[in-house]
Amino acid sequence: MATFKGLAMLGYNTIGWIEKEAPKCGPNDALCRPLALSPCTSDVHTVWEGALGDRHDLILGHEASAEVIEVGSLVKDFKAGDKVIIPAITPDWQSVEAQMGYSQHSGGMLNGWKFSNVKDGVFGECFHVNEADGNLAHLPEGIDISDAVMLSDMVPTGFHGANLAEVEYGDTVVVVGIGPVGLMAVAGSVLRGAGRVFAVGARKHCQEVARYYGATDIVNYREGDIVKQILEATNGKFVDKVILAGGDVDTFDQAIKLVRRGGIVSNVNYLGTGDYIKIPRLDWGLGMGHICVIGGLMPGGRKNMEYLSELLVHGRLDVSPLLTHRFSKFEDVEEALLMMKDKTEDLIKPVVTL
């Protein structure tokens, strides 16, 4: 393949199809062609909010399942023809950051995020994966290629929220935001043993899906202050953990007001604007209340894909309710992306199966 076609950010506010030279496959790398694709709200941020600054002819997308078409000479565990899961985050595994357990920041803050950021993304007929042995995972038998796309970002990001929150048996958890990541934070909390789970969001269909994934209480922020609503429901008892998969820099204030001493506020929401996250001093115990505030990008890499895919294989998690809109041609990824931009009431995620 000398050249290939892909859906790109042409510049601020503009997308379009472009033709590019095929990437080179280094000794540790792989080239893949997509089997299924899904746009992400981050793609929308990138193009229409300039989240990464202005970019020209950058192919978009970081959620895909794929088939390997070429591997480098040092790749041991994958070969052309293999069907694979691709994580959105593909770290440099030799980096000191990866050795410390923070591979998503290999080489610098958030630098494990390469697709549609520091190189072309997966919305092309062909795309490049660095360190294939460390960043691909074999697609297990029994996982549908569309479902597999949810393992790229939605499942690991939502579940990372539950992991950062260290959800334990019987915890009462609040999940703010019930887009696909928030829904996976609900599912991930339940799969770590949460008891009561409050899901905060306004869209009807998402509320239903939140209940499907185990939310016990739905809180609509349009119907009043969420702190008041939740503490009324608990008779004033603080919750154990809050996972932020929506809201903005001001939502932390509410989160701190909800959580008990020794509790955790964990964020997996991209905070696009605002100078400061503000932690209310009194509710934070004058600095001495043992309320941990932490936020992080999902961990990428093969291990995470392999373990999360086990949950699909063994029926612990069904991601199909996330896939509300389905397309079947490569070119449809454009319509799918625009759909993600103009979120309709019943949209969770569109997926394009090739």
Question: Closer to its own copies at the Cβ: 78 or 330?
Answer: 78
Binding-residue pattern over the window 172 to 191 for its own copies, x denoting contact by CB under 8 A: x---------------x-xx
| Residue 244, helix vs strand vs coil | strand
> With binding defined as CB under 8 A, does residue 142 bind its own copies?
no
- Per DSSP, what are the bridge partners of residue 128? 31
List the one residue from 268, 322, 337, 351 that touches its own copies (CB under 8 A). 268
Task: State the Cα–Cα distance between residues 213 and 215, nearest whole angstrom.
Answer: 6
Neighbours of 249 (CB within 10 A): 16
List the one residue from 56, 281, 329, 343 that touches its own copies (CB under 8 A). 281
Question: Closer to its own copies at the Cβ: 76 or 222?
Answer: 76
> With binding defined as CB under 8 A, does residue 49 bind its own copies?
no
> With binding defined as CB under 8 A, does residue 212 bind its own copies?
no
Selected range binding its own copies among 222-230, 275-283, 321-329, 334-342, rule: CB under 8 A: 275-283
Selected range binding its own copies among 7-15, 24-32, 53-61, 121-129, rule: CB under 8 A: 24-32
Query: Residues with Cβ < 8 Å from 314, sequence gap 6 or more?
Result: none
Task: State the Cα–Cα distance between residues 342 and 329, nearest whole angstrom.
Answer: 20
To its own copies, the closest distance from the beta carbon of 238 in angstroms equals: 9
Structure tokens at 269: 């929401």
DSSP for residue 304? H
List the one residue from 53, 81, 287, 345 that touches its own copies (CB under 8 A). 287
To its own copies, the closest distance from the beta carbon of 110 in angstroms equals: 6
List the one residue from 306, 321, 335, 341 that touches its own copies (CB under 8 A). 306
Residues in the chain: 354
> With binding defined as CB under 8 A, does residue 213 bind its own copies?
no
| Residue 218, helix vs strand vs coil | strand
To its own copies, the closest distance from the beta carbon of 102 in angstroms equals: 4
Query: Residues with Cβ < 8 Å from 162, sequence gap 6 or more?
Result: 173, 185, 188, 189, 191, 192, 194, 243, 266
The interface with its own copies within residues 225-264 (CB under 8 A) comprises 244, 249, 253, 261-262
Question: Closer to its own copies at the Cβ: 139 or 339?
Answer: 139
The interface with its own copies within residues 83-102 (CB under 8 A) comprises 93-102
Pairing of strands 323-327, 349-353: parallel
Question: Closer to its own copies at the Cβ: 163 or 324?
Answer: 163
41 burial (CB, 10 Å; 0-12 / 13-18 / 19+) is middle
> With binding defined as CB under 8 A, does residue 166 bind its own copies?
no
To its own copies, the closest distance from the beta carbon of 61 in angstroms equals: 19
Structure tokens at 125: 């007929």
> With binding defined as CB under 8 A, does residue 116 bind its own copies?
no
Task: Let me know: does 67 contact 32? Beta carbons within 8 Å.
Answer: yes
List the one residue from 269, 323, 337, 340 that touches its own copies (CB under 8 A). 269
Question: Closer to its own copies at the Cβ: 81 or 315?
Answer: 315
Structure tokens at 95: 């980096």
Q: Please work out, in degrees rounded to the nearest 5, the angle formed at the alpha carbon of residue 184 by the alpha carbons of 205 and 226.
A: 65
Q: In what order do the strands lie in the sheet with 3-11?
A: 14-21, 3-11, 58-59
List the one residue from 83, 292, 341, 347 that touches its own copies (CB under 8 A). 292
To its own copies, the closest distance from the beta carbon of 128 in angstroms equals: 15
Alpha-carbon radius of gyration of the chain:
20
Question: Closer to its own copies at the Cβ: 56 or 261?
Answer: 261
Task: Let me know: does 326 contact 353? Beta carbons within 8 Å.
Answer: yes
> With binding defined as CB under 8 A, does residue 109 bind its own copies?
yes
The interface with its own copies within residues 313-332 (CB under 8 A) comprises 313-314, 316
Structure tokens at 286: 């004058």
